[in-house]
Structure 1
Amino acid sequence: MDKTNLDDYLANLGISEGDEAPNVVEAALGAAAPGGEALSPLVVFEQFMQGVVEHLGRDLTLSVRDTGEALEAEIGGERAGKLAGREGRTLAAIEVLAYAVLAKHAGRSDVRVRVDAGGFKRRQADNLGKLAERLALQVAKSGEAHELQPMPPAERRVIHVALKDHALVTTESVGEGAGRHLVIRPRTGDPR
């Protein structure tokens, strides 16, 4: 989108270039910990997600937890499923923002976060697990490797985990960047 189109779009929304942008993150987090100390990742994540949910609508609910492996947020409510966006892109964008907020306000960039809305990611993971099993059987039967289409890291991970202990196949991520994809291969040598 060029600057002219962006200006027109913003003008239609009643926003001019001189308007001050609302800082949702700062409003959600409030003041930092006393003495400039970093806040705990769970506190930062929960406050950030509460701010996001408040700006999205009153009829939404939020549940946040630390699984030990990741910080997870589940947005619930009647309209929650629509928040996922096309192919989960809105949830992915919220996760990217959450990483940035954690890095800035908790001093942590190594914390894994997962945001789901209306069970979208849970259903997606179930479907990917079923796909992985079907493809594993095909690969085992044919003896030929199968390359999947490029997919985001979280989706590749679901398939890796689903097949990690499979006796007949192995998985490998190949490629770089947006072209990174999974290959399911017949297991050679001593099966597990």
Structure 2
Amino acid sequence: MEKTTESEQIKQIIRENIEHFFNKATLNIEITEIDSLTTQDAKEHFYVVRLFSPQAHLLIGRHGSILYDIQSLLSKIISKQLGFFVALDLDINHYKSEKERYLKDLARRVAEEVSLTGKEKALFAMPPFDRRIIHLELAHRNDVSTESIGEAENRKVVIKPLFKQENQ
């Protein structure tokens, strides 16, 4: 089977499963885009699915928890149907992309403050996928480091200076 044909078939199966899932849940969604991020030699299949829904608040949940649960469930359903692993990244009404932009901006602003003051700063508690965005955004910097502290839903990222200010 040709790779582009296989990708189109997978996209169609993803579309059908997502539409069926939300129809059964009596929730209105529109699939606006399905993108394959799978490379030709990849063993895993990764698809980004962008959705629009007037009921987004019901689908996202606190800190995106419902959205991530739906994403995980649909990935398992589709993977079982296809016989190989398919990772999905669902984004409803641009929630994830806007949140990622906000978290990256927050990470940069706080890192600048920490670098200038020489004092570490803890961010608010956040789920693992959000903490990962912070860690990755600041990983390239040579003036600050990041560390996750706390337990369970109280885990947060602490941004620390690598060099203390002289006049502190």
Fold shared by both chains (TM-score > 0.5):
yes
Residue number in structure 2 paired with 1:11: none
Among 52, 57, 61, the alignment partner of 1:85 is: 61
Cα distance, 1:60 vs structure 2: 3.0
Deviations 1:3-34 (A, max 9, x none): xxxxxxxxxxxxxxxxxxxxxxxxxxxxxxxx
- Bigger strand fraction: 2
TM-score when scaled to structure 1? 0.61
Deviation at 1:94, TM superposition (A): 0.6
| TM-score calculated relative to the size of structure 2 | 0.69
CA shift for structure 1 position 58: 8.0
Preserved CA contact (<8 Å) 2:17 2:78: no
Q: Which runs of 5+ in 1 are unaligned?
A: 1-39
Equivalence for 2:6: none
* Secondary structure, counterpart of 1:71 in structure 2: strand
Q: Is the 8 A contact 2:63 2:127 kept in 1?
A: no
C-alpha contact (below 8 Å) 1:49/1:73 kept by paired residues:
no
Once residues 125 and 43 of structure 1 are traced to their aligned partners in structure 2, the CA distance between those partners, rounded to angstroms, is: 28
CA-CA distance at 1:57 after TM superposition: 5.9
Q: Is 1:76 the counterpart of 2:52 in the alignment?
A: yes
1:48 corresponds to which residue? 17
What does residue 3 of structure 2 align with?
none
Matching of residue 128 in structure 1 with residue 103 in structure 2: yes
Moved more, 174-183 or 147-156: 174-183
Structure 2 match to 1:67: 37
The question of whether the paired residues in 1 share the 8 Å contact of 2:115 and 2:143 is answered with: yes
Q: 1:115 — aligned with what? A: 90
RMSD, matched Cα: 3.0
The alpha-carbon deviation at position 181 of structure 1 amounts to 3.0
Q: Is the 8 A contact 1:41 1:108 kept in 2?
A: no
Native 8 Å contact 2:22 2:28 kept in 1: no
Mapped partners of 1:142, 1:48: distance in 2: 51
Deviations 1:102-146 (A, max 9, x none): 45334445x543111111111111111111111101211222322
CA–CA separation in structure 1 for the residues paired with 2:72 and 2:27? 23
Query: Rg larger in 1 or in 2?
Result: 1
Contact 1:81 1:117 in 2 (8 A): yes
Q: How far 1:41 moved relative to its partner?
A: 6.4
2:123 is aligned with 1:148: yes
Q: What residue number does 1:97 align with? A: 73
Count how many residue pairs are aligned between Structure 1 and Structure 2: 147
User: Which amino acid counterpart does residue 36 of structure 2 have in structure 1?
Assistant: D
Q: What runs of 5+ residues in structure 2 fail to find an aligned partner? A: 1-8, 39-44, 164-168
Secondary structure (helix, strand or coil) at the match of 1:165 reads coil
